[in-house]
A and B are shown apart, each in its own frame.
Chain A
Amino acid sequence: MKPSYKKIIAVLKYLGFSIERSDGPDVSFNSRFKIQKIAYLCKGLGIDLYHKFTIRVHGPYSHVLAQDYYKFPEAIVNLETDYVLNESESQIADEIKENVLDHYLTKDYETELLEAVSTIIYLKEENPDISDDDIFATVKKMKSHLKESMIIISNNISKELLFKPEYLTEEIRKELDMWDNID
């Protein structure tokens, strides 16, 4: 098994993710779909993975990752890996859990939320200066089944996920304090 695949399994294990099988030995469509999106979120947020993802048609999607779980389904179904996440990888997994997997929308719309957030993170990775309007229009065109509210909420989640502490300058901190202290 390749190191990147072991790393993805380690993230899924850390997240307490349960993977369903299809009727045969393979991973179910539902689980494959979620694995792809979570794996891309990991990569998009900074976990070093060799898998390359495409956004077209079924994206974010990695053909090589799909080959990995078809070749080694047992490892991912049983979450077997000898890879141990380092501190920064665990932090990224925590952020994914807190902002996406534990979001109130996942109760009924887990796959849509994963799809929307991972798509938006991909678009922002491709074009960091993309505006909210362009994000909305592009996602709506690519994934017409997603509701407008889902795209807006997912865009807000993507901002939380991509936010880095160094963005919080003294000037912004002061302004936030002012807003917090308004009666």
Chain B
Amino acid sequence: MSTNQILDEIIKGTERINSKACTLNRSLLLALCYYFIDGIQFRELKTALNISDGNLSSNLRALTKVDYLKEEETILDKKKIKYFSITKNGKRELEKIINWIGLIKKLLEEDKNETEL
């Protein structure tokens, strides 16, 4: 792929990515829920990300609203807990983000190759 093609793909990719998902915290939430396929509890996400309840809630709500994450409830030790897991749409969106970042990496590597010549 030529540098022009890579740049075209990066720009097209930007249009394909849902800007509501591609903030740092939201991408991280998608990545964590992709890896922890069992689902992650709200309290675990809060500790891991070290963000406020309000901030975490609003990010989770946004991702749930666009059907990238799903929220479920269960009882653990007689206590009701919420946990979040990734949906098929969420996986697809995260893959788009990863591919887009991969293209940026490729572009920068092209640049590095030229500098080394």
Residues of A participating in the B interface, judged by any CB pair closer than 8 Å? 28-30, 32-33, 36, 56-58, 61, 63, 66-67, 70, 108-112, 141-145
Closest chain B CB from A101 CB (angstroms):
14
Nearest A residue to B43, CB-CB: A145
Can you list, as one digit per residue, whether each of B52-66 has a CB less than 8 Å from chain A (1) or not (0)? Answer: 000000000000000
Given contacts A33-B38, A66-B37, contact A142 B47 (CB under 8 A): yes
Give the interface SS of chain A, mostly helix, strand, loop or mixed: helix
Contacts of B112 in A (CB 8 A): none
Nearest B residue to A110, CB-CB: B77
Interface residues on B, range: 20 to 34
B74 within 8 A of A: yes
Contacts of B24 in A (CB 8 A): none
Contacts of B83 in A (CB 8 A): 29
Contacts of A30 in B (CB 8 A): 74-76
B1 within 8 A of A: no
Given contacts A29-B38, A66-B38, A109-B77, contact A57 B32 (CB under 8 A): yes
Contacts of B77 in A (CB 8 A): 108-112
Contact B76 A111 (CB under 8 A): yes
Can you list, as one digit per residue, whether each of B30-59 has a CB less than 8 Å from chain A (1) or not (0)? Answer: 001001111111011101100000000000
Contact sample, A vs B, 23 pairs, CB 8 Å cutoff = A29-B38, A29-B74, A29-B83, A30-B75, A32-B38, A33-B38, A56-B48, A57-B48, A58-B36, A58-B41, A58-B44, A66-B36, A66-B37, A66-B38, A108-B77, A110-B77, A111-B76, A111-B77, A112-B76, A112-B77, A144-B43, A144-B47, A145-B43
Q: Which residue of A32, A58, A111 has the most chain B CB atoms within 10 A of its CB atom?
A: A58
Q: How far apart sit A29 and B39, CA to CA, in the bound complex (Å)? A: 8
Given contacts A33-B76, A108-B78, contact A61 B43 (CB under 8 A): no
Contacts of A29 in B (CB 8 A): 38-39, 72, 74, 83
Given contacts A143-B47, A144-B43, A145-B43, contact A58 B38 (CB under 8 A): yes
Q: How far apart sit A112 and B40, CA to CA, in the bound complex (Å)? A: 15
Contacts of B38 in A (CB 8 A): 29, 32-33, 36, 58, 61, 66
Contacts of A61 in B (CB 8 A): 36, 38
